[in-house]
């Protein structure tokens, strides 16, 4: 019986996936075999992408949330003509290869986002879809007219983040978001019935989604379901595709054994024989399959050319619109400039200063969008004069994430990697624990996401130890490529926002105070935040390095010691990462050569020995907080000028 070229394409993906996993002796072959039919239908009939210009703004976004099945994505990208070679497939999971065990963001290769931790991809895709909806409302469908397609598995839907994100996507009616669910009913431990028996379609219907079903191995049925989802733009769509994991494997189809281990040579031989694949053929692609995919990709290339023509015609007739597009897609360097109320001698919480800075930036940076996890009045994140981003007002810039920190973090990543927007999300510092998976992925992806974390120490007061961060600064600083910025006053807060917005190779966490802090006289010291640390007050006997609210406390302690004839250098160190990126000469100019070093921070002292050395003094809080007014807490935890001076006096002898 003659196979259709479509069937040959499906079989090719299955063969490439089996070969690559077997050669690496590592990987997850079951999902690519089970979803190959769905992948071919989506990529050849619906998805609009162009391998000749992988990053054109109006391309469809494809997210493989069940990233363990990465060989499905790599096979599709290779066959579609993206710059992913056969040698790359052969080097699956090897050092230096772009075909990592789980997809790692590389838009130039067609990999839109990093996935692997289950549910993160789906939640990031909600952010991508929200970005499309916002930009579509601003510029119209002739410039913004793409969809976000997601493959997700049982594990993605078990993770709580998927419920948070899907709930918000339904509320926002993100009708150009389509999720194809690999309903194979198998997880690592065995059948999903061991732990997962809910009505998934019913759950998503309750979220406000259109829910559809299809036999995942019936390509006509899959195409019909995708077509129905595409036609309904009033709500997001979930298509539950009933599949068999490791479809076609003679003894391992439908078995948990095929989830995360190579099938073995005998099983592969049996699978290939059953699908009519010549014995001994490995890593081969029939020219007819390449032509089949090339024809499908030509559709995307034509769509891209048509988009460029529409853009050029519109911008020729509308120079202001062209300038606005550039403001979104090609923003220049962010500069805050003078902000009213930031005069030295006044007092202002850095969270309040941040709110003023956001609104100062909102005009020149129209692509700045974001919001809070139901804490906007406390986080000070609202953009004045802008409506909320809702299903009836997608042009709004204020996102109401609700009490959904997990989803908010991933959605902010989606907003930030989509292009055209800079996304921020906010919550209390202590709840950065709920953001951590998304923070880590943002750092891994080099996504320029911004996270506003307020109520940064025990001095938030009566809410007590459940809400008072202790270990959180140390935990955040432990994430590679995440820059953690804790400004000392309103002026440093403005510079912190500049630092975050001008950083394009990774995320930034802005750590801000609840309590008022004195606005420091930083005349002649502007720009210090950009270098991570700088000298606020010179001295010759010792150096005291502080961050955030403790900088003004350090200055107070220096005054106490000065009355005794001791000369204390005070250094503000708002960002470790930026400081340690400076050359050694600059670091020594700040810390001094031969000066004894002490640190002061209202949190865990863990990690400060990196800066103060073996003989240094690290002042902080290495226990949980307590519920009391901030003034009493400052006394009890030794966070007064007199108490800090006493500790320094004893240390210096």
- Gap between the Cα atoms of 123 and 408, Å rounded: 8
Pairwise CA distance, residues 525 & 290, whole Å: 61
398 DSSP β-pair partners: 370, 388
Give phi and psi for 179, each to the nearest 5: -110, 125
Helices (H), 446-531: 472-477, 490-501
Q: Is 405 assigned a catalytic role?
A: yes
Question: Which residue among the candidates 112, 267, 405, 492 is catalytic per the annotation?
Answer: 405
Phi (first) and psi of residue 608, to 5 degrees:
-70, -20
CA distances from 321 to 140, 305, 315, 324, 458 (A): 11, 20, 6, 5, 48
Query: DSSP per residue over 146-213, as a string?
Result: --EEEEEEHHHHHSHHHHHHHHHHHHHT-TTEEEEEEE--EETTEEGGGT--S-HHHHHHHHT-EEEE
Whether residue 453 contacts residue 425, with contact meaning beta carbons closer than 8 Å, is answered with no
Asked whether 86 and 283 are in contact (CB, 8 A), the reply is yes
Distance CA 146, CA 222 (A): 20
Rounded-to-integer distance, Cα 134 and Cα 137, Å: 5
Give the residue among 320, 297, 313 at the shortest CA–CA distance from 142. Answer: 313
* Burial state string for 279-309 with b = 16 or more CB within 10 A and e = fewer than 16: eeeeeebeeebbebbeebbebbbebbeebee
CB 81 within 8 A of CB 294: yes
Closest among 145, 211, 216 to 176, alpha carbons compared: 145
* Residues with a known catalytic role: 405
């Amino acid at each position: 019986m003659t196979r259709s070229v479509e069937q040959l394409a499906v079989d090719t993906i299955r063969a490439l996936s089996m070969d690559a996993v077997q050669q690496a002796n590592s990987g997850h072959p079951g999902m690519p075999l089970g979803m190959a039919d769905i992948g071919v239908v989506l990529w050849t009939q619906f998805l609009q992408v162009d391998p000749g210009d992988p990053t054109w703004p109006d391309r469809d976004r494809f997210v493989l949330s069940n990233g363990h099945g990465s060989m499905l994505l790599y096979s599709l990208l290779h066959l579609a003509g993206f710059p992913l070679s056969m040698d790359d497939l052969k080097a699956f999971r090897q050092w230096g290869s772009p075909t990592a065990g789980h997809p790692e963001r590389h838009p130039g290769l067609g990999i839109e986002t990093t996935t692997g931790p289950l549910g993160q991809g789906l939640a990031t895709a909600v952010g991508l879809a929200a970005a499309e909806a916002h930009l579509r409302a601003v510029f119209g469908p002739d410039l913004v007219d793409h969809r976000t397609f997601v493959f997700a598995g049982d594990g993605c839907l078990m993770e709580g983040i998927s419920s948070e994100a899907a709930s918000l996507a339904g509320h926002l009616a993100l009708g150009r978001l389509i999720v194809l669910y690999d309903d194979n009913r198998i997880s690592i431990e065995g059948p999903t019935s061991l732990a997962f028996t809910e009505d998934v379609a019913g759950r998503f219907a309750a979220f406000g989604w259109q829910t559809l079903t299809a036999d995942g191995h019936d390509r006509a049925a899959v195409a019909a379901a995708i077509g129905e989802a595409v036609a309904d733009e009033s709500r997001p769509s979930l298509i539950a595709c009933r599949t068999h994991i490791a479809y076609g494997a003679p003894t391992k189809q439908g078995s948990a054994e095929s989830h995360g281990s190579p099938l073995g040579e005998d099983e592969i031989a049996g699978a290939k024989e059953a699908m009519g694949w010549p014995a001994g053929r490995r890593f081969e692609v029939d020219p007819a399959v390449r032509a089949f995919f090339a024809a499908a990709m030509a559709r995307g290339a034509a769509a891209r050319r048509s988009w460029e023509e529409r853009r050029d015609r519109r911008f020729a007739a509308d120079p202001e619109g062209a300038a606005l597009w550039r403001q979104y897609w090609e923003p220049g360097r962010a500069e805050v400039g003078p902000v009213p109320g930031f005069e030295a001698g006044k007092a202002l919480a850095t969270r309040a200063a941040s709110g003023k800075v956001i609104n100062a930036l909102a005009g020149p940076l129209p692509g700045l969008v974001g919001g809070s996890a139901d804490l906007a009045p406390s986080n000070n994140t609202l953009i004045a004069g802008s409506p909320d981003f809702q299903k009836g007002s997608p042009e709004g810039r204020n996102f109401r994430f609700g009490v959904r920190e997990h989803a908010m973090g991933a959605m902010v990543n989606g907003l930030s990697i989509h292009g055209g927007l800079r996304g921020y999300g906010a919550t209390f510092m202590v709840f950065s624990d709920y953001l951590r998976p998304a923070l880590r992925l943002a750092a891994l992806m080099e996504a320029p996401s911004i996270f506003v974390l307020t109520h940064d120490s025990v001095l938030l007061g009566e809410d007590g130890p459940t809400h008072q961060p202790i270990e959180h600064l140390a935990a955040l600083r432990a994430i590679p490529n995440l820059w953690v910025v804790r400004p000392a006053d309103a002026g440093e807060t403005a510079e912190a926002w500049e630092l975050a917005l001008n950083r394009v190779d990774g995320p930034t966490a802005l750590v801000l105070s609840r309590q008022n802090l004195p606005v420091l006289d930083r005349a002649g010291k502007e720009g210090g935040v950009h270098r991570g640390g700088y000298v606020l007050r010179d001295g010759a006997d010792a150096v005291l390095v502080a961050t955030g609210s403790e900088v003004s406390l350090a200055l107070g302690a220096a005054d106490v010691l000065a009355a005794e004839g001791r000369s204390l250098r005070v250094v503000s160190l708002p960002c470790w990462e930026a400081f340690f990126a400076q050359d050694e000469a600059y670091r020594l100019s700040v810390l001094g050569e031969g000066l004894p070093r002490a640190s002061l921070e209202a949190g865990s002292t863990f990690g400060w020995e990196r800066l103060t050395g073996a003989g240094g003094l690290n002042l902080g809080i290495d226990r949980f907080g307590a519920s009391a007014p901030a003034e009493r807490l400052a006394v009890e935890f030794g966070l007064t000028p007199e108490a800090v001076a006493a500790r320094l006096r004893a240390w210096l002898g």
